[in-house]
Amino acid sequence: MDYKESGVDIDAGNEVVRRIRSLARGTFTTGVLSEIGSFGGLFRLGEAGGDDPVLVASADGVGTKLRVAFMTGVHTSIGIDLVNHCVNDILVQGAQPLFFLDYLATGRLNPDVAVQIVEGLASACRANGCALLGGETAEMPGFYADGEYDVAGFIVGVVPRANVIDGRSIAPGDMLVGLPSSGLHTNGYSLARRIAFDTAKLGVDAVIPELGGPIGEALLVPHRSYFSVVRPLIGERLGLIKGMAHITGGGITDNLPRVLPAGTHARIDRSAWQPPAIFRWLQRTGGVPDADMLRTFNMGIGLILACAPDRERELIDALGGSGEPDAVRIGEIRAGGEGVVYG
């Protein structure tokens, strides 16, 4: 018996590396000093972090959104999801992404699927000015079912210490500005899948008129990156943004308090924006209570920024200058208490 008979195809792994090498190389920035295939990726910090640079790192996955990819056979968006989620996680502290690493584990390596995933990774890395520096592909027969995989991402960015955004200066009276999400992003899929495929008993190709297409397509809309919109405001307008929250698992309810100083709470005006159709459909079809929707999904707001009340208009105008969907004031900071209060 040989290794291939036991379920691990080294030749398939080498074929994946051969096919993705050019995709990764297309993301390389001037800081990259190594090639794909080396034991470790080399990156020169150079002047990227300015004076007193601070490295910011994060790791994340895509969760059970992967199940929708398995059902549809569409995998490119998964790579986009992974990069953009990680970019947003370090952006909220003011960081510019430097490089990204991925980990792909599967039961039986399918080179076509692996390349789709890396195509998405490379596309998002290029869009965010981030190098796809390397990664790991693990073939683990008997651990994952055929056709299934898991993927994780690791990102490193940099920010001058003077430009770090940590929410410490947030104070009662400050305004909260929300930027629209593109959909569910990468959270809430265990509930969304149960509603769509178990309760409503739909197939991924079932067309939902109010969603404008198949349910599978609506659930696979990629996670939006806010880097191109927000990054120009960091440093150039020092102090404009006091704090930011990336609205991921836990929704506004659990994520916004992570950047609020002790002795303050957020008052959110639910009437300030209309949740997109996908959230309204899920809530109605699943009979989900409001509180659960707000703690499971982003409800159409993917990033929240805090600013002084006298700079609210400046922030909203600046965020809208890129031609992206409009930013909107969704609430304010108040003294006392903790967490989020909805009104």
CATH of the domain at 14: 3.30.1330.10
Q: Which residues are registered as beta bridge partners of 29?
A: none
* Domain final position from 106, 130, 163: 163
**Same domain for 157 and 179?**
no
Q: Is the pLDDT of residue 3 over 60?
A: no
Report pLDDT for 2.
56
Distance (Å, whole) CA 309 – CA 75: 43
Tokens (6 digits) for 108: 């039986």
Q: Is residue 170 part of a domain?
A: no
**Same domain for 129 and 208?**
no
**Same domain for 153 and 236?**
no
Q: Is the pLDDT of residue 217 over 90?
A: yes
**Same domain for 155 and 199?**
no
The residue with tokens 């790991």 is: 136
**Same domain for 155 and 46?**
yes
Q: Is residue 74 part of a domain?
A: yes
Q: Which of 266, 309, 306, 311 is nearest to 167 (CA)?
A: 306
Report pLDDT for 192.
97
Tokens (6 digits) for 49: 């972090």
**Same domain for 144 and 200?**
no
**Same domain for 139 and 192?**
no
Convert the pLDDT of each residue in 251-267 to its tens digit: 999 999 999 999 999 99
**Same domain for 232 and 149?**
no
Domain around 69: 10-163
Report pLDDT for 6.
54
Residues comprising the chain, all counted: 343
Backbone φ and ψ for 281, nearest 5 degrees, come out as -65, -45
Q: Flag whether the pTM goes above 0.85.
A: yes
Backbone φ and ψ for 17, nearest 5 degrees, come out as -60, -45
Distance (Å, whole) CA 181 – CA 298: 7
**Same domain for 59 and 201?**
no
Q: How many domains does the chain have?
A: 2
**Same domain for 199 and 101?**
no
**Same domain for 159 and 84?**
yes
CB 299 within 8 A of CB 251: yes
* Domain final position from 163, 183, 207: 163
CATH of the domain at 297: 3.90.650.10
Hey, what amino acid is at 166? D
Q: What angle do CA 13, 19, 25 make, to 5 degrees?
A: 115
